Amino acid sequence: MPRSTSERFEITLRNPATSFVSASLTLALAVGPIQLAPTLAHAQEPAAEAAPAEDPQLAEAKRLYDEGEAKFQLAKYQEALVLWEQAYVILMKGGEANRAILNALVYNIAEAHSRAYDLTRNPTHLRTAKQLLVDYRTSHRELYGDEPEAVKERAEADDRITELDKKIADSEAKGEVGTPLDSGTTTTGGPGPTAQPETLTPMQQWDRELKADPTWVKGSKQVGGGAVLVGLGSVFTLVSLGFIVWGVGLRTGTDDLGLNGTGAFITGGVFGVIGVGMLVPGAIVLSKGVKNRKAALAAHPKPTARILPSVDPTRGHAGLTFSLRF
């Protein structure tokens, strides 16, 4: 008669509140029925029990998960992500039978993304982690319902999402720019192409560092905002001058409508007040922005190249010297 065996696939949930283990989730996966038939020579004897067959895909997923766990322990979070994502793709092939394990693995992948941001300062890791935790929470409720322990676990996920929202806001305030993540897996779970390191010229490196400087970012925003205020204030001021000139003309000349220029003066005065009200603060904000940008430029000197004559009287040599400062 057929029978089923099971193997243990143990996933340790990562909870930063305790830095390491928060809960241990041990889930059993059915390997599939193994038919035990008696041999022809001993048909009358009961069949000897065969050793449980090992599911090669499950074994590979467990190996990848364990390797990723070791990388996580060593703070090699991006390497852990590659291994755990490969394990996830393999487990996906098991369908509903692996759904609970996949749910727990998603939590760990989200935590690895959060830790990876601390090393790379790439906010794409934070946004990915948040989306994974939202998916984790939805799937968790479908799997475990509203039992007290399940509700508690989802509350912990909600706390992590709140923390990620704060980190994302802080990252945006610092002007950090997210870049696409290099995926270590393909849709089939195999290793993807190795990402080639980006080669930057000294000028490109300087430009990137300058634009990532919070002082430069703040100064650029101030320059933009101040320029808008100054521009609008100038328009209102010109309109004000136009009405005042018109009012002077009405006072000194004759108008067919019988206007004496008072209304033009009043309108011009209103526009003038609005114009000055925009010009003055706009000029102040613009001035602060220029100062902040100058401070950022001083902190990040622009690379310069110079060609200077070089003479060595002792050896009788003469030539040109190329120097690059960055």
Statement to judge: residues 139 and 257 lie in one domain = no
Number of domains in the chain: 2
**pLDDT value for 197:** 46
Distance CA 194, CA 167 (A): 29
Query: Is the residue at 47 inside a domain?
Result: no
Report whether pLDDT(301) > 50.
Answer: yes
Query: Is the residue at 318 inside a domain?
Result: no
Query: What is the rounded average pLDDT of the residues 188-212?
Result: 60
Statement to judge: residues 117 and 14 lie in one domain = yes
Report whether pLDDT(107) > 80.
Answer: yes
Q: What percent of the chain has pLDDT over 90?
A: 40
> Reduced to 3 states, what is the DSSP secondary structure of residue 2?
coil
**Radius of gyration of the CA atoms of the chain, in A:** 35
- Asked which of 147, 169, 192 is the last residue of a domain, the reply is 192
Report whether pLDDT(115) > 70.
Answer: yes
Query: Is the residue at 70 inside a domain?
Result: yes
**pLDDT value for 83:** 94
- Asked which of 157, 192, 227 is the last residue of a domain, the reply is 192
* 9-23, 183-197, 267-281, 292-306, range with the lowest pLDDT: 183-197
Mean pLDDT taken over the chain: 75
28 compared with 317, residue with greater pLDDT: 317
**pLDDT value for 319:** 62
Residue 110 and residue 133 in contact, taking contact as beta carbons nearer than 8 Å = yes
Residue with token string 């008072």:
262
Report whether pLDDT(65) > 60.
Answer: yes
Query: Is the residue at 177 inside a domain?
Result: yes
Query: Is the residue at 45 inside a domain?
Result: no
* 61-70, 125-134, 199-208, 252-261, range with the lowest pLDDT: 252-261
Q: What is the CATH number of the domain that holds 97?
A: 1.25.40
Tell me how many degrees the CA angle 147-152-153 measures, rounded to the nearest 5. Answer: 100
**pLDDT value for 35:** 32
Statement to judge: residues 7 and 133 lie in one domain = yes
Q: What is the pLDDT of residues 261-286, one digit of tens each?
A: 777 788 888 988 998 999 899 899 98
* 38-52, 118-132, 228-242, range with the lowest pLDDT: 38-52
Statement to judge: residues 187 and 212 lie in one domain = no
Query: Is the residue at 309 inside a domain?
Result: no
Query: Is the residue at 42 inside a domain?
Result: no
Q: What is the pLDDT of residues 233-265, one digit of tens each?
A: 899 999 989 888 887 777 766 555 555 677 778
**pLDDT value for 317:** 59
Contacts of 203 (CB under 8 A, 6+ apart): 302, 303
Query: Is the residue at 161 inside a domain?
Result: yes
Range of the domain at 87: 3-33+52-192
Query: What is the rounded average pLDDT of the residues 60-87?
Result: 93
265 compared with 305, residue with greater pLDDT: 265
Q: What is the pLDDT of residues 177-187, one digit of tens each?
A: 888 887 553 33
Contacts of 278 (CB under 8 A, 6+ apart): 229, 230, 232, 233, 236
What ranges make up the beta strands (E) of 120-197? none
Output 166-175 pairs: Cβ under 8 A, ≥24 positions apart: 167/114, 167/117, 167/126, 168/123, 168/126, 168/127, 168/130, 171/117, 171/121, 171/123, 171/126, 172/123, 173/214, 174/214, 174/217, 175/211, 175/212, 175/213, 175/214, 175/216, 175/217, 175/218
pTM: 0.48
Statement to judge: residues 164 and 57 lie in one domain = yes
201 compared with 84, residue with greater pLDDT: 84
Pull the structure tokens for residue 307. Answer: 């060609």
**pLDDT value for 260:** 63
Statement to judge: residues 88 and 188 lie in one domain = yes
